[in-house]
Each structure stands twice: as C-alpha cells, then as structure tokens.
Structure 1
C-alpha cells in the first residue's frame, strides 16, 4: 500500500537528453503556438496594421517638417525613418509575447506543461520562437509597404539581410523581457500594459524618428547608448540610408557591434531571469 502511495506521489519525470531534448521540446511548443496563431488571424492582422499606420503617419504627416542632413525633403526623411519603424515593429511584439505567456499562466496551461517530462525553459523558448516567426511575417509585409512609399536600400542585398538579422535579433531579445513581464503579472491585460509602458520611452528617446543631436543635452547620451538606437543606426549603415549626425558615443561609432552586443546581453540576462521566474511561479 505504501509503495503505491509513494508511486502516486512521485513528481513527474524530468526530461533527459540535455540540449537536444531542450531544442526538440522548444520546437514542439513553438509549433503549438504557431498553430494557435493561425486560428486567431485577427491577432496577425492587427499586428500588421499598426506598423503600416506608423509608416503612413510619420512619412506623410511629419515628413515635410523634419530636417535630415540639412534638408526637409520628405523622401529623405522617409529613408531615414524606415530603420526606426522596422526596429519599433520588432520591439512592440514584446507586448504580445508577454500577454500570451500571461494568458497561458491564467488558463493553467503552464502547469500542465510542467507536469510533462520536458525541459523547463522550453515553454518560454517555444513561445518566443513562435513570436519571432510572426515578426518575420510582419517585417515582410512592412518592407513591401516601405518600398511603396519610397524607401530604398543602397548597399546591396547581403548587407540588407544583415540589417534585418539584427532587427530580428533585437526583437527576440526584447521578447524575453516580455516573457519575464508575462510571468510577473496576473492577467494578460496587465501584461499588455506592462509590455508597452516601458517601450515608449525606449523607442522615442532614441534616434529612430529624429536626430539625437536635436534633443536636450541631457537626453542625447541616453539616446546614443540606447540599445534600440544602436540597432537603428546599424540598419541605416547597412541599408545605406541617411543617418544621424556623428556622435562620439561608442555605440554610434560602431553600431553593428553595439547592436550585436546589446542583443546578446539582453537575451542572456532576461532569459535567465525569465526561466528562474517560471520555475518559481509554477512550483
């Protein structure tokens, strides 16, 4: 009798296989999230509409009043703008990642996953990978819109692909911040609000929409050392688009390296914190 009791009370078996098992589990969770996304097409649709609205509004409402490189030519500003819009789009997907994880927590799905013999970080990794796939789709559509409004690349396709790679890496890094927020709140609504409230200062106190040299003197170093600014500047360099005024800040002098370093550091820090939080809240 006691043997049966001990067997029934035993915890769920843990997955073996190390990294290989973790990768397989993550891909299974990513596939599950992608299937769910296809069954809720309005989520994808709204995710596409928002960046298109930003392109149109900033290009045609503010374009004629912005000075880039000493000119107010709207076409110059549109080429300057698009790197910022691309970066804003990949980072705003963070709110969706947080809300999705919070929803899974609220419905008890995470507890069900925990009872299975799978890698502990797979649930979060799978979710962030699924969000990355959705971001790729959004970026594809946004690129077409950007070409229609006059944006062009001038440094060749390989460098342009490198720029998009940096953008997706930044979006993936920020999705781990969203994952941590989603695990730290009680409802999807709170996760959405918490995922957006910090993104606005990050994206607007940057070189995405205006030259940082036009900001208040105390804001300029914040904007120049902003991880978001580094990626935007790197993309402008790789796209061959108009850039901001020269700055002595290291990230602006070496934007590609700065973008890579910032993204890797963010992933390392916030993935560790998110997985640790995941283990504690599901115990």
Structure 2
C-alpha cells in the first residue's frame, strides 16, 4: 500500500494540500513539500494530478475542480477522432491528418473547429464515456474551448495515451504521442520545464483570458523513454497574465521532475 503524505500550503486561493502517495514514503513527503513550496505566494487557483508508474507515485490537488479547457481539449478532439476511426476500421484521411497536425503542433483553432464540427458533440461525449472522463462537460453552446475539464479527467486521458488499453489502440496512441512530441518550440512551456534531457517530452498547453477569473493557463505533459514513465496535469485560473500562469506551472513542474528523477527515486524498493 503506497504511503500517503499531505503537507499544507499557505497558498491563498488553493488552500488544500497537495496529497502524494508512493511506494517510497520519503519521495511522497518530499514531493508534497516541494509542490506546496512552489505554490506559495502564487495568486492562481491551481489543480494538479500526476502519476509516475515507475515508483507508483501519485499526487493530487483540487483535482476535481472544473476549468475552462482552452486548447487542452484538442487532445480529446484528436483522441475522439482516432477512436471513431478505429470503430470503422479506417485510417485517417489526409485532410484529417493535416488538421490534426495543425491542431496539436501549432494549436490551430480553425483546424480544431473543423474537426470538432465533423465529429459533433455526440461522438465526443461517447468517447468521454468510454474513457471514463465522466466529469468533463461540453459547453452547451458548442464552444470547444469552454469545455469543462478537471485535472483528474485529463490524467485519465494521458494514461490512455501512454499505456495499452481497450479504448485507444496502439497506432492511435502512437499517433497522439508523435504529434504532442512535435509541438512547436514557442508552445513547449509548462510541464516540460525541468524535464530530464533523456526523456521523450509530449505536451499540449492551453491559454485563454476571460472577463472573470483572469487567464486560464493549463499544461498537459507525458514523459516517456528510458526509465521515464510519468504524466503531469496542471490547470490554473485567476492568473493576472499568461506569463504568471506559465511561471506557476513551471515551478510545479520543476519540483516534480527533480523529485521523480533524483538518483534514488526511480529505484525499485
């Protein structure tokens, strides 16, 4: 049974503690401390969910809070497209591949809208049900960027992408990892900050400013290759600027990467 450690934070708008559990009690304790230290002084509302399979470590903070998805929903759109094609036993068309590439690697909104309209809400909802993403809710007026997401549901999606499962086949998972590994340099901020140099980095970020709750700034990351096998989701809102949100996420990410890749962290008990 993994040891569970909760360390309180003085963070104003996210008062809950980051709770970590691990087969390595010292790792859980240090990771909780460092995540909360990264949160101290930040003004954003923050949700976190992460999972490292190598050490059987998980951490969560306010992970069922709902946020506007912004562009992070584009991974769900791609997964739905591939899942739907699987059911028909067909490959993606060239047009679909072109749109998927633009949607993920450059966060192209027009490509996303085209795929979203092609799929329709019914197919997206069917995928969410199959994926167990039961707290994700589509916008009633059809705005994909206002899909309500949670850190826990995004972690479920990342787990489907990174490990064999009955929902997404091997080719579908490989394609998602390929595109999220080819995101343009200017959009590779967030959860990749501090990642080890030998890790294969897969990322999709989202950012959106609205009249209420300031900037939403989110980052989904998967880290594979070598001995690395972990995923990180950080969702934030109430950021005064986009840069504030990025800094918040990157402080958390550095704490996670440092702890999970410390010399003793990856060794089996």
Query: Which structure shows the bigger proportion of residues in helix conformation?
Result: 1
- Name the structure with the higher strand share: 2
Point out the structure with max Rg over C-alpha: 1
Question: Structure 1-normalised TM-score?
Answer: 0.28
Q: TM-score, normalised by structure 2?
A: 0.29
